[in-house]
Amino acid sequence: MLAEVPLHCEDPDRHADMVVPSRATAARRGLGEDAPMPRPRLSVILCAVPRSGSSLLASTLHASGAVGWPGEWFLAEDMPEKAAAWGTSGPRAYLEGMLEAGTSPTGAFGLKLMWAHLDDLFVSLRRVGEEYESDDLTVLRSFFPDPRFIWVRRDDAVAQAVSWARALQTDQWAAYREATGEPSFDLEQIDALYHAARIYDGAWKRWFAAQGIAPFQVRYEELAEDPAAVTREVLAFLGLEPAPTARPIVSPGYTKQADELNAEWAARYLAERRS
């Protein structure tokens, strides 16, 4: 059943900052394949499972002006669209466009990774860098200087699975998007997503341990309760300050979506799973 779980992102990236190639990128492309790749001074990597609040945190960090847009740059289904928008062709040029689009004026690059994206990420990086045997962290550091890892988690995996199921059914991955379908309780779907959330979260835990990484952990429940406070904590961990031009820390488009229907589905799932 897990093989059938859609690995869609929390909110398909349609952010303006991610699709407009900069003049610097265009100029560098004119220098040929051997031109130096953009080098941010700091790399902020959000590690998550769908419906854990990573889109909310990405938006608040970007609104602070301190971090570039943490896009899901390695979501395979969106990569051709991004490459076309940037006018890039091939994995190396795609990475250039990504680094340019995702880096703030302060030099902080943002990246959001779902566990399901890791294979595509490392295939691209190892191919471009010809890093075939190095460990994962070494490969990441060769492209993303001074990587800082933020692990976004959700304690209530049942609520997470319910939210994930509703988003898949309605295509409403954020409050600003219009629903395109009617939600319908599906025990098998919610159960598959519950196990997927637990398995992928466990996979992140094992990967961090294997790479010797101690990530900064963000709990969805705390983030949803006070996004501004959690964002300040993350920025302090990163050693960054909000820019003078920072926008309001929480956009109305990323408000909490859970409602009474979510609670009803969660209670029904728990009751039917036990029966």
- 37 lies in some domain: no
- 190 lies in some domain: yes
Residues of the domain holding 109:
42-274
CATH number of the structural domain spanning residue 92: 3.40.50.300
Q: What is the mean pLDDT of each successive set of 10 residues along the chain, which is 275 residues long?
A: 42 42 42 57 96 93 93 90 90 91 93 92 94 96 96 96 92 65 91 97 98 97 93 96 76 59 95 85
pTM of the model: 0.84
pLDDT score for 171: 81
Distance CA 27, CA 30 (A): 5
The total of structural domains in the chain comes to: 1
pLDDT score for 38: 56
- 75 lies in some domain: yes
- 101 lies in some domain: yes
14: exposed, middle or buried (C-beta count within 10 Å: 0-12, 13-18, 19+)?
exposed
- 112 lies in some domain: yes
Q: Tell me if 91 sits within 8 A of 99, measured CB to CB.
A: no
- 53 lies in some domain: yes
- 26 lies in some domain: no
Distance CA 17, CA 131 (A): 30
Record the tokens describing residue 111, joined without a space: 């990246």
3 state DSSP class of 12: coil
User: From residue 217, how far is each of 130, 151, 171, 232 by CA, in Å?
Assistant: 32, 5, 28, 13
- 189 lies in some domain: yes
